[in-house]
Structure 1
Amino acid sequence: MSIFITGTGTDIGKTYVTALLVKKLREAGVDTAYFKAAVSGNERDEKGGLIPGDAQFVKTVSGITQSLDTMCPYVYERAYSPHLASRIEGNPVAMDTVISQYRQLCKEYETVVCEGSGGIVCPIRYDETVIMLEDIIKALELPTLIVADAGLGTINNTVLTVEYMRSHGLEVRGIILNNYRKGDVMQEDNRFMCEKLTGLPVIACVGYNDSDLDISAETLIGICSQGGNL
């Protein structure tokens, strides 16, 4: 029982929403792990080691006890796409390592919530070996949820993301709108239009500083089921 979280772009709150998803599952009694194949834009600790910031945030918000070193196999300092960060810093992503670490988490935990890098069209490695984000989703055999900003432009961004994913054989189970303001006529229409034009449900709307998802744990567990246990 696992799910992959991607987004309509970078900096739309994908990690924040992922943390709330993990928190919801943990509070429902589901033994949940977090996984992100490659994370960029990280700071160093006092010993010079890179801290996977997204993983640290998810761990803090969700309350899971999973160790940081099992969450992200590839950690880069520069806030670039992983393919460029690894070209400069070394240690490019290897698919075998990603699959192996994910499989190990599947053995140890009931559910693994995986987070992508950037939007769906994200080069993870681009040298003699080409790995796109969609290749990782396919290799892990995971269904997906899309995080989108609730504001102006989200209809276009969400529909294009869904159509791209479908055309590349990826299963999308729903949409989560972030930065949502209930009662805002434009954002409520955005929600309506995203559902109508994609045929997908908006399963949750996340407001500023929300500490919980407005979705039942049972519904979320159902969405995460039947996927990803290699």
Structure 2
Amino acid sequence: MRPLFVTGTGTDIGKTHVLCALLSAHRAAGGQARVLKPVISGFDPAQANETDTIRLMRANGDSLTAENVQAVSPWRFKPALSPDMAARRERRSLPIDRVVSWCLDHISRDMPTLIEGAGGVMSPIAEDGLNLDLIRELDAHPILVAGNYLGTISHTLTAIRVLDGRCAVIINDQGDGAVPAEENAQALMRFAPRADVRVFNGDATVLLDLLNVNSA
């Protein structure tokens, strides 16, 4: 099955929040999925329960063992920096080809595989590669999470453009946007007609069909 890659228009945009809701809804509907977050920075072992890796594992119903944590996030860095900077700070190597190879080895053939990137779509996920590069190397279907704020249209259209227009877009509506999320969604659909634009306001069941994407 073709993997899905969850990325965002920027950092702290709600990727993990949306993905956890989607995983929980899929599991509640009787489905199974594999979730991978190959690279994570800001991972403090003393506060592991607060990390995105553990949140994703909980949402997916995975046992919280050290072995399973390694199977979800093999590259974990303590500094809360972009992964390339965090790797340099810890004097560790993080080449994109190793991340690609690891992901290819862990993509399931039997159930949906959801891969969460680090930061925005154009953020470095390795010392020599961006999230965008990883998406392309894995031939993954991009799911782009965007915020609902003044300026999100420009940020989101820029991200859609680098993804060649073919992606799912999820506006993460926290209910505090200056413009209603539905209006921003309509604007995005007008200027990016090939993108599949949705609004997420807490009900992830409206996103479940995204897990059935197996081709371009």
Q: Would you call these one fold, judging by a TM-score over 0.5?
A: yes
- Write out per-residue CA displacement over residues 83-108 of structure 1, whole angstroms, 9 at most, x where no aligned residue: 11101112222334323432333247
**Distance verdict in 2 for CA 1:64–1:189, change over 3 Å:** same
Q: Which residue of 1 aligns with 2:56?
A: 58
Q: Does the CA-based 8 Å contact 2:39-2:125 persist in structure 1?
A: yes
Q: How far does the alpha carbon of each residue in 1:108-164 deviate from its partner, in whole angstroms, 9 at most, with x for none?
A: 7511101111111112233xxx22222211221111011000122111111111112
User: What are the within-5 Å matches in structure 2 for residues 4-15 of structure 1?
Assistant: 4-15=5-16
Q: Does residue 200 of structure 2 align to residue 206 of structure 1?
A: yes
The structure-2 alpha-carbon separation of the partners of 1:89 and 1:51, relative to structure 1 and needing over 3 Å to count, comes to farther
Task: Point out where structure 1 has 5 or more consecutive residues left out of the alignment.
Answer: none
Aligned equivalent of 1:226: 215
Partner of 2:84 in structure 1?
83
Contact 1:5 1:116 in 2 (8 A): yes
User: Distance in 2 between the 1:73 and 1:7 partners?
Assistant: 21
Give TM-score scaled by structure 2 length.
0.85
C-alpha distance in 2 between matches for 1:141 and 1:183: 33
Other-structure match for 1:215: 206
Match of 1:31 in 2: 32
Structure 2, unpaired ranges of 5+: none
Measured on the aligned residues, the alpha-carbon RMSD in Å equals 2.7
**What SS is found at the alignment partner of 2:98?**
helix
Q: Distance in 2 between matches of 1:185 and 1:55?
A: 32
The equivalent residue for 2:182 is 188
CA contact (8 A) 2:117 2:125 kept: no
The 8 Å contact of residues 153 and 184 in structure 2, kept in 1 or not, is answered as yes
**8 Å contact kept, 2:121–2:159:** yes
- 2:170 is aligned to 176
8 A contact 2:150–2:178 mirrored in 1? no
Question: Does 1:42 find its partner at 2:43?
Answer: yes
The code of the aligned residue for 2:206 comes to I
SS at match of 1:215: helix
Distance in 2 between residues matched to 1:182 and 1:120, nearest whole Å: 24
